[in-house]
Structure formats: structure tokens, C-alpha cells
Structure 1
Amino acid sequence: MKPTFTGLIYIFLAVPPVHAETVSPLQARGYNVMPQPQVVKLRASDFEFGSDWKIEVQGAAPDDVAIETLRDELGRRYGLTLGVSGGNVLRLILAPNSVAVGASQDGDKQGLAEQAYKIDLSRDRVTIVANAPAGLFYGAVTLVQLVKPAHGALLLPEGHIEDWPDLQTRQIYWDDAHHLDRMETLKHALRQAAFFKINGFSLKLEGHFQFKSAPALVEPQAMTPAEFQELTDYGLRYHVQLIPYLDGPGHIAFILKHPEYAKLREYPDSNYELCATNPDSYKLMFGMFQDLIDANKGVKYFYLSTDEPYYVGMADNAQCQEGRRAKELGSVGKMLAEFVTKTANYLHDRGRTVVFWGEYPLKPEDLPSLPSHLVNGEVYGPQFDPLFKKHGIREMIYTSSEGEEKMFPDYFPLPADKRVHTGRGTGRRVTDTFQKITFDTARRDANLIGSINAGWADMGLHPETFWMGYATSAATGWHPGSPDPAELMATFYPLFYGPRVFNMNRVYELMSTQAQFWSDSWDQVNATALKPIWGNSYRIFDKPQPRHDQSLPLPPVPAADLTTSHDWAKDNAKRFQLAAEFLRENDELLGLLNANMARADVNRYNLEVFLAIAHLYRQNLEMLQTIQQMNGSLQGADAAHDKPKAAIGSVDRALELANTIRYARNVVLADAIATWYKAWFPRVAEANGRRYVHELDDVKDHLPDRTVDMTYLIYRQLLLPL
């Protein structure tokens, strides 16, 4: 996982902001489109759009995906079927050089022109014109979004739209490292990405792909090469590139934990990083590359994730002599550049444009050692970006919708006075992404090609929680600076769920703040039952350091005479006061989710996931209250210690309450599993003739790795003596 940004003040000093209207012209008229088109000229009137309209096509095939999507989405969202005759005409025209591209950050005007379109809207005729199939598709999607239900009719505004992207590629990162989504789930995700003009879908599978060249690392649930190609073809039909993603030299415990590959480790006692001077390391990587690209024909890009290669160039032991090679080359950064060159050139020679992470330990003087055909998947600041540009390496602006949050992304912050613990602040994912893409100094210093927004699976969040981050990131990559983050979110809700949902901003606020209290309501402690961490981003530890668990201070165990030692309730008063407040807000959240389940016209499963998460929040809050009641029962036993029958009764009541906690925990977990597994294959130790090797990463501590199954959702509770 890459670090996230928290402050952008320096940016505003360096780059003048893009002008944005207080309210976009479409939003001012009650219309929702995402991304906001570059040019919108509306006339005063609206007109009805209905079944008396017919489709005419010029220059495009009758089965073009733009026409298919237009029909499907109008039917699915509005119950509208266009006729085959009638006086009103919706015309789709595909004609090269028919739409001009205006001002843009990306200098590749041809690449942008392929996605450009224009729409003329009048009472008896709507015309969508595009230079290429992708543009025609985006024009069709915009028209679908533009339709407004009002008073039993469907309306469109009279006017003119011209549109093209500011950056040619707008990618998302989808993380299936710790689970495998079902094929229908991934196909739905690809279509949904296309609906929001996302055209790159970087899929991390790790052992969930059936590598022919490395069968030992294939996990029980794994996609076949034929399925990967089927998914690739499906994405390409909707103008979305399904991009393979493979880590190296770091972040590959999923490989190096296997005894068959332990000899490739940089350090024998760490499964985190590959030895970059071992020829067998390249043999393994090239074989895995080839397996993926053979099952991914038709795609331009490949993600060579050089994310966080902390220790490259440092090892000097019997099985890896990177330190010696780094000295020969002149720096550890040049050692990383050599690894990148060898691996990226293999992919480049086979027709792929390679995206890598150009980060530490690279230094400015190391950049000339990299091949210029690379794309850097992250901008790296004024010290680096001009040098990447000078060397011919294009760059992308990286943002994330999830980092280390548990349960739900930080779309809204939890106020400091609503926290048990001080010191942990939160950002606003949509606002931070908007500011990064719109105002980063890379707009001045880099040769930008696109943006990518990551939804990391490190904490085991359900991917359904990332869609607002994904959609608003792509919208800002298409049209930076307009509209503002609040309008972006307000536009997302009716487009994602349908126009009848209500108060969704409050839903996302409550989902965010309840998740943060879910984490904050417990204390951080050192783990005692797990192997320790070998090193971090700064150094290899002299002595491995403990991982972190979460725990709760439980009421003191009574003495033999049933007396208690201290005032536990007083010590935890704030924790329980806040839990009571959040329980009331959970009532509100569940009410809103259930009401909107009945009103959502599309993506209702997303709200099912939210409901399951909200019940996990609630179980935690009710557990805190129950522990408080247990303490009251134990205090009652203390007060009645000279009345044995009453005292024992109070102790029995505390034990009964503990049983209710365990029962409620198991019920809510079962409900969550049932919901998750509608989209995921089960997380199991053995299936399809393969066994899962359960070995923790020596450097990274990803919550789903703690368990083989779904009990990672309640892992911290399993550590309590309840």
C-alpha cells in the first residue's frame, strides 16, 4: 500500500487553481452528469424524452456497445424502451475528425480525440457525434445520466455539450489479493467503471490466478487463464482495459512464503522481497508475466508494481549479493533501476506499456538509468517530476480511496471530541483526491497521461465501499476543478443508486464516522500470538518488533471474596458515553439504509453490504454496553459479598451477559459472510485440489491475513476471553 497525502498547502502556493463555478450549469438545472462535461451551453427550456423517440445510427455498427448500453441503461434505470418509428430522433453519428479537442493537460490530442463527443439537444432531435467508438460510448453514457425523471415524465434540457478528457487514462486499482470476486461481480464492476468513464481497471490477483509457470503459489480459489481473457474481452467491449498487476521486488510474500521459492528471497528470514541479482528471480517473474499477458490479449498496459522496495540493494548474504551489485552500479537506486529495466523491457518487448512506481530508493540522479518507455504511476514532487519529464517518462497522479481504514473509507472525518484516543486524524477522501488531481505541482512539472485511484485490500474492506472514491477520482481526472467535491458527491448518489434515493450524504457520513469509532473504541496493544515484524520502511529491525492487535480493558476479575480492585467504570466513562451516542446514530443509519433499499433502482447490493457493515458497527456498540452491564453485575456481587446467594447470582448474570456477546457476534458475522459471498468466492483453506499456505508477511501486517476465513472481521473479539 502506498502512503496517502494529508496536506496540500504547498500546492496552492505553486499552481493557480482551476476556476470552478459555485454550482455547475447542469446541477443548477437539476441534471446530474459525471464527469462534468467541458462545455455546457443550456437554453431555457426542457423537453420530454420517451418511447416516441427512435434511434438512428450513422457510421457505427448496429451492435456497437454505445447503442447496446444506451438501450440497456435507459430500460434498467427509467423503464424506457425507445421505439423503431416516430417523429423524434436520437441519432448517433460516428465520424472521424468531427469533434475538436479544446484545452487539456494531456498533450496527446489524438488520444483525447478518440474519447471526445458532442451532443445537441432539441425538442424533436438529439444528436450524439464522436470521432471514435470510445467517444460515442461516452456520449451515450452522458445522455443516459442526463435524463431527469420529473412529475411522471423523463426530461432533457435543450442545449449543446462538447466534451473530452483532460487526461487520456483514468484508472482504478481493484485489489483481489485477499479474496477472489466472482466473474459476474467483476463484469458488473467493469461496466460500472465504464459508466463513470473509467477506462483502466488494474486488477491485483496474486495467487488467485492459475499461473502455469508457478503452480505452487496458486490458491484454492483462482481464476483460469480462459476466464481472465473472457474478462479482458468484456472490459475492452466497454472501452475499459483490464490491466494485470504484479508486485516485485517487494510485496511478494504470496510467492516467497512457499518453500519452493524461499531460495529467491533477498534475506532468508524475510518473505517480503525478492533478490534482484538472482537470475532465477527473473525466470520466475518472466514466466508469471507471460502467463498473464497470454491471458490478457488486446490490452496496452501492464502494472509492474515496484511499490515499497524497502531493502533493495542492501543484502549481502549467501543467497543474495545485492549490496555488492549496488556498489558497482553506484547506488541502491540504480540497483532498483536495473531490476525495473530488466523486468519492464521483457514486457515492453512484448508490446506492453509498463506502469511502475518511481519512488524510494530512487533518487534524482538515478532516473537516467531507467528506460524512457515507462509510465510512472505516481507523481513524486518538484524534485523528481521535471526529471522524469526530461527523460521521456510520462506520469500519472496517484490517489487512494482506502489506506489503513477499517470497515469503511474516510469519506468524512470523525471529530476529535468524538474519539476515545487522541492523535489520529482523518482526511476526506473525495476532497483530498480532488485537490491532488486539480492542484498538484505535477500539472506544471510533469508530462501527465492519467490518474489512478486505489482501493487497497490491506484491511479487508469490501470493494463496494470504494465506488464513490473511484467515480469522483475519474470525474476529476476527466475535468479537474469542476465541480467541487460536495457537488461531485451529490451527483454520484443519484447516478449510482437511482434518482429516488434520499439523504445519501448522511448515510456516507454515518458509515464513515461509525467505522472510525469502531476502530477508536478499542485500544492498540502489542500482539503476543503472532510472529513479529521483521522490518519497516525505515530499516531492518535489530530485533523483530511485535505486530499490533486491538483489545479492550475488561472489568477486573473479582477476588475470592468477590470484591473488585478499582473503579473500572470511571476509567472507561468516555468510551461508554460515546458508545451510547454512536448507538443512537446507528439507529439513524440503519433506518436510512433500510429506507433507501426500497428506493434504490440500481446497485441495491451495495446497500446490502452497507447494511451488513452497519450491523457489525452495532454489534460492537452493543457489546460495549453489555460489558458495562457485566461490570455492574460484578459490582453488585462486590456489594453483596456478605450475601452469598445474591453475590453468586450477580456473577452468574455477568457470565450470561458474556454469552450474549458471543452469540450476537456469531450472528452478525454469519450475516456478513452471507452478504460478502454473494460477490466473493469463499475464503477457505482447501478447494479445487489446492491448499492455502497460511504464512504471514514478514513486513506488512494485513488484517485479512490473520485468518484463512472471514473471521478477520471479528478477529479482535476472538482474542477476548468471552
Structure 2
Amino acid sequence: MRSLMLLLCMLLSPPPLGADGHNPLLPIPQQIHYGSGRLPIAGLEIGFAFSPTPQDRFAADELASGLLSRAKVTVQVSEGEARQRMVVLRRAGSGADLPQPNEQAGPDSREAYAVNVTSEGAEIRANSSAGLFYGVQTLLQLVAGSGTEAAFPEAEIRDWPSLPYRGIMVDMSHGPLPTENEVKRQIDFLAHWKGNQYYFYSEASIELRGYPVLSGDARFSQDELRRIVAYARERHVDVVPCVELYGHLHDLLRVERYAGLGPLLHGRELDPRNPQVATLLAAWIEQLADVFPSPFFHVGMDETWEISKAAAAKDTSPDHLYIEQLQRVAGVGSPARQDGASLE
């Protein structure tokens, strides 16, 4: 009971103030220096120091929406001539919108940004639209007060990620299936804290053409997933497929039509030596690669609890049987990802 009361107090208490009585900034920026002045929000406009892309415009709209929600002040987004009291978005490069293979973190990374607030105006500088978006999140956290009292504190901030890949894996195969809108809320939360990967874990909860009876009443349609992927991309979050292609497939193999695809009837694992399994893998990977255009494709090959029995029945070793399936998946997956994507 004492632990429960402590938890409730922590959840219900107001957030602690950060440096010098200012709002706490999370994640904590790499460098931050506060001045003594402030920038009133009422009367500001949001503008660009360049011709904005749709992603840049989205970041500006997010700033305007956030200021209305937090500060209770309407701030317009303008693409005309810069005025004196503006929040200016300045993108100096054309870095990728989403995480790419072999990225490195650091002050020169595509996600790095700088925020400068004076009593005359504010500026967010970045090398990519992702950096601008993250600068917007930090600027919104600086808001103090509301209405005519709403203001930004004078500040100079430089920030960059400590890790190039920052995400979560969400299990879509156990327990109640979340709705499309719930997944979008999770992505909003992740993006707010500058996360950039959402691993969509599925065993048999995705619509796959040619397999109509597979989890027919408990799956995401491909159209739903495409909307989720597009929604996440606007927020610089990459939705990465995280799928099982060996074990964890009881939802498939318990269906009589597909029961023979496993070495054991109605089991949990695919049979690497069944020719129909190669057909299934090719169909699944091709469709998943089309729905998820991520440069990453995560394949699960764990918990093959039946492999010893299957290997004994086929007069081979568990090691050899596992390697056969691993090579088969790699052989099918590589041609399906000809865009340089990483099959993990």
C-alpha cells in the first residue's frame, strides 16, 4: 500500500522545474543556456527561411497546433516575407526524413538542431526536416504561461541524439488488438519524445492476400497499415515490420488448411523442407515489403521448441534444420528488398 501511495503521489504531482526555474526539457538537450529575457507568444508568426517541403510545413503546423494547445494562443504559419517577430524555421540541408542504415549520432547528424530565442524572435535551425520537427518539440516544451502571459524564455539550445536509432517494439499478436487510432496515439507519444522507430510485431495479425482465413477477425488490413505508415512518416517515425518466419506461428498452423506446413501437425513452426513453405515465405515477404517501405525488415526466428522432434523425424540435426530455414528466409527476403533495405 505504501508503494502504491508513493506511485500515485509521483503521478499526480506537478512536473518539477528545470534549470533556473524553467520547464524541464526531455530528452535533456546536449547544450542549453538561458538568458534573462522572454519572448511573448501573442502576435508571433511562424515562417520559413527557405522554400518549405511538405515535411517542413508539417513541422510548422505542429508548432502552431502545439502553441494553441499549450499557450492558448493562435499563431499563424506564413510563407510570405519574414517579419520582425517570428519563429523562423531554417533548414540548411536535405537529410533523409527517416532513419537509414549505418547512421551515426552526433552534432553533425541529420537529426541535430539548434533553437535560439531572443526577445525579438526565435529560430530553429537543422540539417533536415526531422531536425526541424525535433526543434519544434523542444520549443513547445519551453512555453510558460498561457494567453497574454504566454512566453518563451530567452534561450540558446543545441541538441543532437545520443543514439541514432530510438524506438519501441509493440506486440500486436497477444491480447486485445489495438485500433488504428490507438497505434497513431502511440506514434504521437513516441514522436513527442523524439523516438524514430516503431517496431510492429506480428505473428499472424496482418492481412495477407491468399490467406483469407488467417486471423480473419483479428488483424490489421493492409490499407490500415499504409495509413499508419504514412502517419508515422510525417512525424519522422519509421514503422519497421517485425515478423516471425519460423516459430510463433500456431495461429497459422492450427488452421486445417495450413496445418501441413509444419513438421508436426497443428504445431508452432514451419517445415523448412516443405516446398509449400517457400511459396508462403515469398508471398508474405513480398506483401510485407510493399506495405512497410522501411529500409529495415526484422525477422524473428526464435523459440523453435519443436525443432528437436522435427529434426529427428527428418534424420537430421536441429542445427542443420535451423540453418536451412535461415538460408531460405535470407534467399527469399533479399530479392524482395532490392532497394538496399536491411533484412535483420
Structure 2 residue 55 is matched with structure 1 residue 59: no
* Counterpart residue type for residue 254 of structure 1: D
Say whether the 8 Å CA contact 2:311–2:317 is kept in structure 1.
no
What is the rounded CA distance, in whole Å, between the counterparts of 1:32 and 1:345 in structure 2?
49
Aligned counterpart in structure 2 of residue 304 of structure 1, from 299, 302, 312: 299
TM-score, with length taken from structure 2:
0.80
Q: Supply the distance in 1 between the matched residues of 2:48 and 2:269 (Cα, whole angstroms).
A: 54
Q: Which residue identity lines up with residue 70 of structure 2 in the other structure?
A: R
Moved over 6 A (4+): 352-355
| SS class of match (2:61) | helix
| Residue pair 1:39, 1:163 contacting (<8 A) in 2 also | yes
- 3-state SS, counterpart of residue 203 of structure 1: strand
| Match runs of 1:213-612 below 5 Å | 213-268=210-265, 271-296=267-292, 298-312=293-307, 315-316=310-311, 321=314, 324=316, 326=318, 332=319, 335-351=321-337, 375=344
Query: What CA distance in whole angstroms lies between the structure 2 residues aligned with 1:251 and 1:257?
Result: 11
Q: How far off its partner does 1:143 sit? A: 0.8
- Say yes or no: does 1:68 pair with 2:61: yes
| Percent of matched pairs sharing the same residue | 23
Could you say which residue in structure 1 is the equivalent of 2:155? 159
**1:570-606: per-residue Cα shift (whole Å, max 9, x none)?**
xxxxxxxxxxxxxxxxxxxxxxxxxxxxxxxxxxxxx
1:169 is paired with a residue of what secondary structure? Answer: coil
Matched, 1:131 2:123: no
- Asked if 1 retains the 8 angstrom alpha-carbon contact of 2:241 and 2:297, the reply is yes
d(CA) in 1 for partners of 2:187, 2:340 = 21
Which residue pairs with 2:186 in the alignment?
A: 189
CA contact (8 A) 1:276 1:312 kept: no
- Whether contact under 8 Å (2:27, 2:193) holds in the other structure is yes
CA spacing shift, 1:273–1:126, aligned 2, 3 Å = same
Matched-pair contact (CA < 8 Å) for 1:253–1:271: yes
- The whole-number CA distance in structure 2 between the counterparts of 1:195 and 1:60 is 25
Bigger drift between 254-263 and 186-195 goes to 186-195
- Are positions 1:41 and 2:33 aligned together? yes
C-alpha distance in structure 2 between counterparts of 1:181 and 1:31, whole Å: 33
Amino acid aligned to 2:300: S
Q: Which 5+ residue runs of structure 1 have no aligned equivalent?
A: 1-23, 99-105, 327-331, 356-372, 376-722
- Give the SS at the match of 1:347: helix
Corresponding residue of 2:12: none
Cα pair 1:213 1:291 within 8 Å, conserved: no
In structure 2, which of residues 93, 96, 121 is the aligned counterpart of residue 96 of structure 1? 93
Q: Is the Cα contact below 8 Å between 2:289 and 2:337 reproduced in 1?
A: no
Task: Output aligned runs, 1:100-111, within 5 Å.
Answer: 108=104
3-state SS of paired residue (1:349): helix
Q: Secondary structure at the match of 1:162?
A: strand
Candidates 22, 38, 44, aligned match of 1:30:
22
Tell me by how many angstroms 1:95 deviates. Answer: 0.8
Give the 3 Å change call, closer, same or farther, for CA 200–311 of structure 1 in structure 2: same
SS at match of 1:216: coil
CA distance in 2, matches of 1:247, 1:182: 21
SS of equivalent to 2:65 = helix
Per-residue CA deviations over 1:244-285 (Å, capped at 9, x if unaligned) read 2211311111111111121122333x6222223323223222
Alpha-carbon displacement from aligned partner over 1:288-336 (angstroms, at most 9, x marks no partner): 222222223x322222122333443552465xx2x5154xxxxx2x643
- Higher-Rg structure is 1
How far off is 1:119 after superposition?
0.9
Distance 1:354 1:250 in 2: 27
CA 1:240–1:60: 2 relative to 1, 3 Å: farther
Q: SS of the residue aligned with 1:208?
A: coil
1:82 to 75, 96, 118: 75
Q: CA, structure 1 residues 112+195, in 2 after alignment: closer, same or farther (shift >3 Å)?
A: farther
SS of residue in 2 equivalent to 1:141: helix
The question of whether the paired residues in 1 share the 8 Å contact of 2:299 and 2:343 is answered with: no
Change (3 A) 1:314 1:46: farther
Gaps (5+ residues) in structure 2?
1-15, 96-101
In the TM superposition, what is the alpha-carbon distance from 1:374 to its structure 2 partner?
Answer: 5.1
Displacement of 1:218: 3.0
The structure whose residues are more often helix, as a share, is 1
The CA distance in 1 between the partners of 2:147 and 2:235, in whole Å, is 33
Query: Aligned partners of 1:108, 1:237: CA distance in 2, in Å?
Result: 22
